[in-house]
Amino acid sequence: MAPLLKDELDIVIPTIRNLDFLEVWRPFFQPYHLIIVQDGDPTRTVMVPEGFDYELYNRNDINRILGPKASCISFKDSACRCFGYMVSKKKYVYTIDDDCFVAKDPTGKDIDALAKHIQNLLCPSTPLFFNTLYDPYQEGADFVRGYPFSLREGVPTAVSHGLWLNIPDYDAPTQLVKPRERNGRYVDAVMTIPKGSLFPMCGMNLAFDRELIGPAMYFGLMGDGQPIGRYDDMWAGWCVKVICDHLGLGVKTGLPYIWHSKASNPFVNLKKEYKGIFWQEDIIPFFQAAKLTKECDTVQKCYISLSQQVKEKLGKIDPYFVKLADAMVTWIEAWDMLNSKDSKEADANGSKPKGK
Amino acid sequence: MAPLLKDELDIVIPTIRNLDFLEVWRPFFQPYHLIIVQDGDPTRTVMVPEGFDYELYNRNDINRILGPKASCISFKDSACRCFGYMVSKKKYVYTIDDDCFVAKDPTGKDIDALAKHIQNLLCPSTPLFFNTLYDPYQEGADFVRGYPFSLREGVPTAVSHGLWLNIPDYDAPTQLVKPRERNGRYVDAVMTIPKGSLFPMCGMNLAFDRELIGPAMYFGLMGDGQPIGRYDDMWAGWCVKVICDHLGLGVKTGLPYIWHSKASNPFVNLKKEYKGIFWQEDIIPFFQAAKLTKECDTVQKCYISLSQQVKEKLGKIDPYFVKLADAMVTWIEAWDMLNSKDSKEADANGSKPKGK
């Protein structure tokens, strides 16, 4: 059983609607504090079911808190959720989409996704050598013959990437080609993504250690006024993985599953993804080749270095990447502004956002 | 359903006893040709159940066929199985230990391990980018959002590494510490081991494409007269993975499971593994750093280059590695001797080994 990390974990939810989906999560989420990031029209009221402890930020709040630096937070795109990562004061963050429900394991039991994420984050990762029996720290598993003993202590886990039953996280072309495909395969495994290997990180069901990797969890410039959408979590995942590899941190994927209830519109998605489909062909080799020097010994320094490389190398593809590189710097400035020692003290005495 | 590759696959079994275990495999193995490599005393008779098509080689056969080059084939160690890879004339090889039985899937159905290996080998691998929904070529699965389209054709699969229910493949120290541990976790997944990541390859339940990677499947010098045992498959796996990464070939792991019936004696194993436990701490960084040049454009050339690096770098650790490096060269010479065009013609007219 994973411990309840009540005072150490926030749940971040981006939304444009009433959070009725929380009802099914009540047994699992109610002990935790929620940070709700309201996207779109700030005058709309987002209803939160009774009994949840939450704070809610709309666009006006984001603009007020960050001032000119609010430009780094996307609007009309779920990428806005990363504002929640920034204002959290907890060690861990779990973020989930509001169309994700409680999945069942093969025995028919409700899956406590959050408890599994906590378990994943609290036990080490093994990025330096592949273990064929998956996570060696799980009950009933271990390192197999031939696994170097010097590597069995593992490294701290920074990210736990959970998966989805029912509607898989497909891109628009795949959605169009396979409109009826559903994910019914329950794979009973958690594994570390090896060092040097990039992966497509989905923000639907994702937990991470803010203290270890928070400043790299920037979801980029997406949506309103931007040429691209639906690459927010991918962008974060590429940056995060390169930095985790450099700093000796682990990224896990696999369990837990959530139940993803409905596919987004593939035509709308195609419009959002269109440029990304071309750009990712250059972005991925770029991240595969990105180098961080020994001087980059904090997440912030790594991230600033990546932003410079983005500007220099990807800026040639499209002026968007120059803007994104600048936003990456602004994000770090904003992060540090809200997460410095002084800001924490001010926060302790300062004005509270909406919520209860 | 995987096709029956009757004329394209041999099953290689190393043994010192009667092959009663074949009875449970009869529905699955009987269509195939078996190559039995008898270890130990060549005067002993190994009984094979009625109705199987097989050829059997004992130590005298190996010495007769390879002459002085027989020195590269281990004696009194299941590493001798690689002689079977060499004399096979088929495109694919499946090798299995004689204490491995048919496992059941979670629905209670017998698992046709060989059919699943064939399916793994016939569909591509994806070593260049990680797919979070595991093998994208499986029924009901695909590439997830953010997976570059240029990489979706995949690369040819050279190796399919299957797993074990019941007795896991643990080293002696883990066996000693966890004498009662059994693997009951059926993980319904096949995945590609990413490029650049090494893994502990177990020879218990292993299939590969001889044409793509055969000459690298050398199980080294183990057992009689050698300072080490139980690193035969590990050694092969490290060499194979480095060469697959260089040549753009894929290695898959996961399904199918076999039922591993009994743990070998941990005290005997500790004696065999003892030096390997120290050596692997140097061997793994060595393979992680091994470089193959552009000129290495065949498996043979890659393997000879690795043998030179083994001699130069690992030879400093122990004279054993100098001997092993020489044996690696002998292995390639022997492979080419038995697998040249001329030898194939001679074989067509030549003397048959024992079997029917």
Average pLDDT for runs of 10 along chain A of length 356: 86 96 98 97 96 98 98 96 98 97 97 98 98 96 97 98 97 96 96 98 98 98 96 98 98 98 92 96 98 98 98 98 98 96 58 56
In chain B, the residue whose alpha carbon lies closest to the alpha carbon of A284 is B148
Spell A287-303 as b/e; 16+ CB within 10 A means b.
bbebebeeebeebbbbb
Residue A47: burial class (beta carbons within 10 Å; 0-12, 13-18, 19+): exposed
Hey, are the CB atoms on A170 and B253 less than 8 Å from each other?
A: no
Q: What does the DSSP 8-state code read for residue A41?
A: -
pLDDT reading at B2 higher than 80: no
Closest by Cα among B193, B207, B209, B190 to B126: B193
Q: What whole-number distance in Å separates Cα of residue B185 and Cα of residue B166?
A: 9
Hey, are the CB atoms on B186 and A187 less than 8 Å from each other?
A: no
Predicted local confidence at residue A351, as pLDDT:
45
Interface-testing mutation among B133, B139, B145, B152, with chain A (most A C-beta atoms within 10 A)? B145
SS3 call for A93: strand
Contact A3, A118 (CB under 8 A): yes
Predicted local confidence at residue A350, as pLDDT:
46
Hey, are the CB atoms on B130 and A200 less than 8 Å from each other?
A: yes
Q: What does the DSSP 8-state code read for residue A69?
A: G
So what's the ipTM on this one? 0.94
What is the least distance, in Å, from the CA of A247 to any CA of chain B?
A: 18
- The two tokens of residue A245 are 């590899």
Q: What percent of chain B has pLDDT over 70?
A: 96
Which chain B residues touch A107 with a CB distance below 8 Å? Answer: none
Q: What does the DSSP 8-state code read for residue A221?
A: S
Secondary structure string (H, E, C) spanning chain B: CCCCCCCCEEEEEEECCCCCCHHHHHHHHCCCEEEEEECCCCCCCCCCCCCCEEEEECHHHHHHHHHHHHHHCCECCHHHHHHHHHHCCCCEEEEECCCEECCECCCCCECCHHHHHHHHHHCCECCCCCCCCCCCCCCCCCCCCCCCHHHCCCECEEEEEEEEEECCCCCHHHHHHCCCCCECCCCCCEEECCCCCCCCCCCCEEEEEHHHHHHHCCCCCCECCCCCCCCHHHHHHHHHHHHHHHHCCEEEEEEEEEEECCCCCHHHHHHHHHHHHHHHHHHHHHHHHCCCCCCCCCHHHHHHHHHHHHHHHHHHCCHHHHHHHHHHHHHHHHHHHHHCHHHHHHHHHCCCCEEC
Residues 6+ apart with CB under 8 A from B22: B29, B34, B48, B49, B52
- The two tokens of residue B64 are 């007769």
B18-63 pLDDT, tens digit each = 999 999 999 999 999 999 999 999 999 999 999 999 999 999 999 9
Q: How confident is the model at residue B345 (pLDDT cuts 50, 70, 90)?
A: low
- Decide yes or no: CATH 3.30.450 for domain B9-341: no
pLDDT reading at B1 higher than 70: no
Interface-testing mutation among A97, A145, A166, A186, with chain B (most B C-beta atoms within 10 A)? A145
Q: What whole-number distance in Å separates Cα of residue A328 and Cα of residue A334?
A: 10
Of the partner residues B144, B169, B197, the one whose CB lies closest to the CB of residue A200? B144
Among A262-266, B151-155, B197-201, B219-223, name the one with the lowest average pLDDT: A262-266
Of the partner residues B140, B168, B201, the one whose CB lies closest to the CB of residue A181? B140
pLDDT reading at B202 higher than 60: yes
Average pLDDT value for chain B: 95
Q: What whole-number distance in Å separates Cα of residue B211 and Cα of residue B158?
A: 9
Predicted local confidence at residue A304, as pLDDT:
98
Which chain A residues touch B253 with a CB distance below 8 Å? Answer: 130, 132
pLDDT reading at B210 higher than 60: yes
Q: What percent of chain B has pLDDT over 90?
A: 93
Predicted local confidence at residue A353, as pLDDT:
63
Contact B95, B32 (CB under 8 A): no
Which chain B residues touch A134 with a CB distance below 8 Å? Answer: 185, 187
Instruction: Record the pTM.
Output: 0.95
Hey, are the CB atoms on B237 and A146 less than 8 Å from each other?
A: yes
The domain segmentation of chain A, as residue ranges, is 9-341
Of the partner residues B133, B197, B273, the one whose CB lies closest to the CB of residue A168? B133
- The two tokens of residue A255 are 């369990």
Hey, are the CB atoms on A129 and B280 less than 8 Å from each other?
A: no
Of the partner residues A148, A185, A199, the one whose CB lies closest to the CB of residue B284? A148
